[in-house]
Amino acid sequence: MRRVAITGIGVISPLGNNLSQFHRSLAEARSGIRALPAELAQGSGVKVAGLVDWSPAPMFKDAEAANLDRVSQFALAAAAEALAASALDLAAADRNRIGVYWGTGMGGGHALEGAYKQVYGAGEWRLRPLTVVMAMSNAAGSNVAVRYGLRGPFANFSTACSSSALALGEAMRAIAAGRADAIVAGGAEALLTPGTLAAWQALRTLAPGDADNPAASCKPFDRRRAGLVLGEGAAAFVLEEESQARARGARIHGLLTGYGNSCDAVHMSRPDRGGQMRAMQQALADAGLAPEDIGYINAHGTATAVGDVVEGEAINAVFGDAEPRVSSTKSLHGHLLGGAGALELAAALLALQEGLLAPTAFLEQPDPAIRLRHVALRAERIAPPRAVMSNSFGFGGSNAVLIAERAAAPAAR
Amino acid sequence: MDTLGRIKELAAKEFSIDAHGLDPAAPLDTLGIDSLSFIEFMFKVEEEFGVSVSDEDLKAIKTLADLERHVAAALSAAGKA
């Protein structure tokens, strides 16, 4: 059986623009959520977001940056870190056997909104020729493939907030099935534009923002939770067939062994316990693990009134007495939407590798209706668990759940 | 700066290449300028000179020197040069 090793990770996030900064911020429970600058918020009424502190230089020259939507810049930067960390020798590798599986909810939101603003706002119909290839949903993943000449299987997944978890799970399956030997997989989102913010605001699901302490605006599982906080960023992983990774002496961060995918099929935005349970149960079965093997769950935990309760019930129903530790790191980095599953797998791997559980920050008053073993306020250190889970549940009822296991786990089953 | 000089400056900026080393007679693809990049570049050339190059004329442009001739003709027709 072909198993899948994680050999490189790259992160662009509100908590820092590389993996070590991201992990340090999680360990210190340092929030990356802040007040939205007026030029982004404009008339949307949105007050806070998890913003990436980003300058395209020095990675991109001026003209190059101008031809890449922000979401593609994030994707390329995260992929560059992941590939460099993997030490995979692309020049020597058969790149027909290396693919890209990417996830994004929206695609090039900045390019699209800029074009609409010009056409409808200014009546200027002469648009940049690159508008289409900058805005299309698969642009971020395709830019990664083009940059590195990765000619193997390519797919772009767009299932709202589960997009990048789906990309990672499907990439794992493609490698296991022998369709590729390695895949750069992950996701990115960059849709903090005035028009998109206004659309989210209209949905009445965003936290109003903590005026006194914007960093503490997202409070998953807390009685005072008031909605989600949007974020932006990217996370990329180099996934490799395990024996190949071991043969070249690669550092293995963990094995991706479980993937569940289901649709609630009941409502476009209201989450469903049954759909979430099916995805978690599938992931456990896929990995051949029992509930008690999972030591930590990085919850979807968006801090909406209904969502957190439903996820708590679903976890209780699947895990029973096993009671794994649970946190939502969205309290620190906000909701990366299509990029969330990938970024949160990177957070879960901190627990897997070091036993360091990133907390649900600001969880001072746990909602008694949600009965979970929270990691609250501050990070905790435990003996590294055998396996960790990351939940991603998207609008449209699209659920994706990933399980990663310690690299030291025996290869034979 | 003359028309060709301005075009070379624009190309140097767009494609991050050295303007001085640009051979106006070299086929565009040997300069690393592919068809999509060229269409985006033409958009900026049209903006810079305030002219419009037709799709038909665009197909005939294989070098920066060709481009310079079309831009000069368009400027002349518009009474701008």
Instruction: Tell if the CB–CB gap between B39 and A129 is shorter than 8 Å.
Output: yes
Say whether residue A128 is in contact with chain B using an 8 A CB cutoff. yes
| Residue of A126, A136, A146 to mutate, interface with B, max B Cβ within 10 Å | A126
* pTM listed for this prediction: 0.94
Instruction: Tell if the CB–CB gap between A128 and B15 is shorter than 8 Å.
Output: no
Say whether residue B16 is in contact with chain A using an 8 A CB cutoff. yes
Q: In whole angstroms, what is the distance from residue A164 CA to residue A336 CA? A: 10
Q: A291 CB contacts (<8 Å, ≥6 apart)?
A: A284, A318, A319, A320, A322, A324
| Residue of B40, B46, B58 to mutate, interface with A, max A Cβ within 10 Å | B40
- The residues in A 246-305 lying below 8 A from B, measured between CB atoms, are none
Q: In whole angstroms, what is the distance from residue A17 CA to residue A82 CA? A: 12
| Residue of A118, A125, A128 to mutate, interface with B, max B Cβ within 10 Å | A128
Instruction: Tell if the CB–CB gap between A128 and B16 is shorter than 8 Å.
Output: no
Maximum CA pair distance of chain A? 64
> Is A225 in contact with A219 (CB distance < 8 Å)?
yes
Tokens 């290396």: give the residue. Answer: A98
* Closest by CA position to A252, among listed A266, A264, A237: A237
Bridge partner list, A188: A234
Q: What is the pLDDT of residues B62-73, one digit of tens each?
A: 999 999 999 999
Q: Would you give per-residue pLDDT tens digits along chain A (413 residues)? A: 899 999 999 999 999 999 999 999 999 999 999 999 999 999 999 999 999 999 999 899 888 899 999 999 999 999 999 999 999 999 999 999 999 999 999 999 999 999 999 999 999 999 999 999 999 999 999 999 999 999 999 999 999 999 999 999 999 999 999 999 999 999 999 999 999 999 999 999 999 999 999 999 999 999 999 999 999 999 999 999 999 999 999 999 999 999 999 999 999 989 999 999 999 999 999 999 999 999 999 999 999 999 999 999 999 999 999 999 999 999 999 999 999 999 999 999 999 999 999 999 999 999 999 999 999 999 999 999 999 999 999 999 999 999 999 987 444 44
Look at residue B81 in the predicted model and tell me its pLDDT: 62
Mean pLDDT of chain B: 90
Query: Which residues on chain B are in Cβ contact (under 8 Å) with A63?
Result: 13-16
Say whether residue A378 is in contact with chain B using an 8 A CB cutoff. no
The C-alpha R_g of chain B, in whole angstroms, comes to 12
- Per-residue pLDDT band at B21 (split at 50, 70, 90): confident
Domains and CATH numbers, chain B: 3-77 (1.10.1200.10)
The ipTM estimated for the assembled molecules is 0.81
Look at residue A207 in the predicted model and tell me its pLDDT: 97
Report the gap between the CA of A257 and the closest CA in chain B (Å): 41
Query: Running DSSP on this structure, what letter comes out for residue B7?
Result: H
Domains and CATH numbers, chain A: 4-247 (3.40.47.10), 258-405 (3.40.47.10)
Instruction: Tell me how far CA of residue A111 lies from CA of A72, A338, B51, in angstroms.
Output: 11, 17, 25
Instruction: Tell if the CB–CB gap between B16 and A63 is shorter than 8 Å.
Output: yes
Q: In whole angstroms, what is the distance from residue A315 CA to residue A300 CA? A: 11
* Closest by CA position to A126, among listed B51, B63, B28: B51
> Is A194 in contact with A40 (CB distance < 8 Å)?
yes
What 3 state SS string does chain A have? CCCEEEEEEEEEECCECCHHHHHHHHHCCCCCEEECCHHHHHHHCCCEEECCCCCCCCCCCHHHHHCCCHHHHHHHHHHHHHHHHHCCCCCCCCHHHEEEEEECCCCCHHHHHHHHHHHHHHCCCCCCCCHHHHHCCCHHHHHHHHHHCCCCCEEEECCHHHHHHHHHHHHHHHHHCCCCCEEEEEEEECCCCHHHHHHHHHCCCECCCCCCCHHHCCCCCECCCCCECEECEEEEEEEEEHHHHHHCCCCCCEEEEEEEEEECCCCCCCCCHHHHHHHHHHHHHHHCCCHHHEEEEECCCCCCHHHHHHHHHHHHHHHHHHCCEEECCHHHHCECHHHHHHHHHHHHHHHHHHCEECCECCCCCECCCCCCEECECCCEECCCCCEEEEEEEECCCEEEEEEEECCCCCCCC
* A269: number of Cβ within 10 Å: 14
Q: In whole angstroms, what is the distance from residue A233 CA to residue A53 CA? A: 10
Say whether residue A61 is in contact with chain B using an 8 A CB cutoff. yes
Q: In whole angstroms, what is the distance from residue A237 CA to residue A218 CA? A: 27
Q: In whole angstroms, what is the distance from residue A5 CA to residue A136 CA? A: 30
Tokens 């001739």: give the residue. Answer: B69
* Closest by CA position to A338, among listed A396, A274, A377, A254: A396
Give the mean pLDDT of B13-36. Answer: 88
The catalytic residues of A are: 161, 300, 335
Instruction: Tell if the CB–CB gap between A67 and B16 is shorter than 8 Å.
Output: no
